[in-house]
Amino acid sequence: MGSAAEPIELTISELAYGGDGVSRHEGQVIFVPFTALREKVRVVVTEVHKTYSRARLVEVLEPSADRVVPPCSLFTQCGGCATQHLAYPAEVRAKVAQIESALKRIGKLEKPVLRPALTGPDYAYRNRITVHNRDGRIGFLGADGRTLVDVARCLLAADDVNQKLAVLRERPRPRPHYSIRADEVRGEAFYQSNRPLAKLLQQQVVAAVPEGIESILEGYAGTGFFSKPLTERGIRVVGVESSAAAVPVFQREAPKAELLEGRFEDR
């Protein structure tokens, strides 16, 4: 590989978990943020590690048809988003490919069977965000993982979450981080963060349970997100959940389900 400052030309062969483009060059794997599948790009290598390198995109020589104009002016500075330069269907395809590869590589499944991905709005869907506060400036950490990027409105956040962000920005309190949550997200328990897709996911899981099933053991049951609608189908559900924050919410949200508190592996 040339010296660190010398530009090289690469073709992106896959998108890694997290969104970076991946290219193989002279036996080395190179990650290049903000690139798309099969694009030809000119890059400068910025980090060389034992098993991989990282590079900065200098120029897109042959753009992919998947490339779109990123809607947020902070894209590439802000660390919150990695794939705004991709059309939503391309982003979904990349994520499906990553799941399939993980099932093969880690799950050791030869031919994993995946249902078609559920899709929803590509912006304004998140029911919670975590922002940082540096001397009254509120925003996300930058793509470098250190700098604070001032964010007045996040395109991923649902409107009600952005309204709460605006209120916080007017009167920040002296805390280093804030978790800004929609009203339905309470306490420290886990909630699905994509509001419209969560509903679709719930419907799909409940519909996938065949007629005639009388009881279900649900590991990692959280706040009863799946247990509740399953009990409403008349199924006996026993949830297992280890988080002290989730347990009371589960009991309130899914009162017809039974709950075993503790680790699923210990049952």
Ligand X SMILES: C[S@@+](CC[C@H](N)C(=O)[O-])C[C@H]1O[C@@H](n2cnc3c(N)ncnc32)[C@H](O)[C@@H]1O
Question: What are the residues binding ligand X (CB under 6 A)?
Answer: 190, 192, 220-223, 225-226, 240-243, 246, 263-265
CB–CB of 262/244 below 8 Å?
A: no
In the complex, least distance from residue 218 CB atom to ligand X, rounded to whole angstroms: 7
75 alpha-carbon distance from chain centroid: 16
71 vs 107, which CB is nearer to ligand X?
Answer: 107
Q: In this structure, are strands 128-134 and 137-141 parallel, antiparallel, or unpaired?
A: antiparallel
In the complex, least distance from residue 176 CB atom to ligand X, rounded to whole angstroms: 24
Residue 241 counted as an annotated binding residue: yes
For residue 160, what is the enclosing H or E element?
helix 159-170
Residue 192 counted as an annotated binding residue: yes
Encoded tokens for 231: 């009990």
DSSP 194: B
CB–CB of 155/125 below 8 Å?
A: no
59 vs 188, which CB is nearer to ligand X?
Answer: 188
164 vs 228, which CB is nearer to ligand X?
Answer: 228
| All residues at 6 or more sequence positions from 103 whose CB lies less than 8 Å from its CB, including other chains | 109, 112, 114
In the complex, least distance from residue 230 CB atom to ligand X, rounded to whole angstroms: 11
In the complex, least distance from residue 104 CB atom to ligand X, rounded to whole angstroms: 22
Residue 100 counted as an annotated binding residue: no
Residues belonging to the binding site are: 192, 220, 241
Binding residues for S-adenosyl-L-methionine: 192, 220, 241
